[in-house]
Amino acid sequence: MEVPSSEEPMINDEIVLKFDKNDENILINMNSFLINKRFDDDDEMIHYMIYALFGVSIFEDTLLKNSYYIPAERSIFTKDKTIISKRIQNKIAFSKNQEDFALSLFNLKGDEKGQFYDLACSFEKELSGGHIVLEKDGLFNNVKYLDFNENIKVSPKLLSTSLNEMAAIILYLKYILKEDDLLIIEEPEAHLHPKNQRILVKYLAEAINKGLNVLITTHSDYVIHQFNNLIRLGNLTSDEIFKLNYDENNVLNFKDVSIYHFKEQSKYSFVPEKIEVNNTGFTEDNFSKITEELYEESIDIINF
């Protein structure tokens, strides 16, 4: 992605973005007074910063697309149908992004299949062997899980956390998203077993190849490695890809992938560093460094 140059900072709520014509990086300055007033902790502030950065109009190729944001805390919106009424009664507080997300889920029309419906059905079947369904109950939808083996419907409250976390992503793919839309997912790996993280990435890649734009924030080494492998598949023949239990829909063109590592420059100041991507994938030293430290510590403990 090309970042437009500007001598003037862009203001977006509590965030100041400064661009340097001679530098590809973006300096993100946070107003600490406003941050301390609005956020309870640094983690919440950082999550807000990441979304706000990608939400402002700094990437020309996403300006005209419909954008949809799925927050890290998403399972509550599929488990509790009373959450909207609680918000109306001011019993709980939502951010604007959470409010938009909740309303988009509760206003879904389950009889109108979206462009990625079949892909979502394949995804949920491989993930759990079941099916996320919508049932109309008064003004809002009830989300249920249909177990194919037992032929019974199960309330989300009785499901595993991983299935509840995936429900929103599956529903968006089934009923909302269409070609050329932008889907932003915060921490898609949340509560997922490593095997299911790999499955998720495989279907995100297929959606990308069918025209969906996807932007994620992640702290998962498994997600990073799986994206790398899908890029490397591009060096193989169709037969070789098939022998590895993939198909050509899962292959990612490295030219369609951009990776940024947010590095802390000082407190409340972060610089997104672009990572080079080629046909062999990309190198992300942050996670591998931690893995090496853990390994070395294990050796030290064993040798005592």
Q: Rg for the chain (alpha carbons), in Å? A: 21
- pTM reported for the whole predicted model: 0.71
DSSP three-state, residue 184: strand
Confirm if 156 and 164 have CB atoms less than 8 A apart. Answer: yes
Q: Which helix (H) or strand (E) holds 109?
A: none
C-alpha 52/C-alpha 48 separation (Å) is 6
Looking at residue 84, its pLDDT comes to: 55
Beta strands of the chain (E only): which ranges? 10-12, 15-20, 23-30, 67-70, 130-137, 140-147, 152-154, 182-186, 213-217, 259-266, 269-275, 277-278, 281-282
Looking at residue 33, its pLDDT comes to: 41
The ranges assigned to domains in the chain are: 1-58, 72-180
Which whole-number Å values give the CA distances from 296 to 68, 165, 224, 279, 299, in the listed order?
A: 42, 34, 22, 31, 5
Looking at residue 36, its pLDDT comes to: 40
Per-residue pLDDT of the chain (304 residues; tens, 9 = 90+): 334 444 444 334 444 555 554 555 555 555 444 444 344 555 555 555 555 555 443 344 444 468 888 887 776 555 555 555 555 555 566 666 666 777 777 777 777 889 999 999 999 999 888 888 877 665 556 777 777 676 777 776 777 778 888 888 999 999 999 999 999 999 999 889 999 999 999 999 999 999 999 999 999 999 999 999 999 999 999 999 999 999 999 999 999 999 998 888 887 788 888 899 999 999 877 777 788 888 899 998 998 8
> What are 273's strand-pairing partners?
261
Looking at residue 80, its pLDDT comes to: 56
C-alpha 263/C-alpha 96 separation (Å) is 27
C-alpha 6/C-alpha 17 separation (Å) is 10
Looking at residue 105, its pLDDT comes to: 74
Looking at residue 263, its pLDDT comes to: 82
Looking at residue 222, its pLDDT comes to: 92
Looking at residue 131, its pLDDT comes to: 85
With both helix axes pointing from N to C terminus, report the angle between 221-232 and 285-303 in degrees, rounded to the nearest 10: 120
Confirm if 261 and 272 have CB atoms less than 8 A apart. Answer: yes
Kindly provide the b/e burial profile for residues 131-151, where b requires at least 16 CB atoms within 10 angstroms of the residue's own CB. bbebeeeeebbbbbbeeeeee
Tokens at 262, concatenated: 């947010």
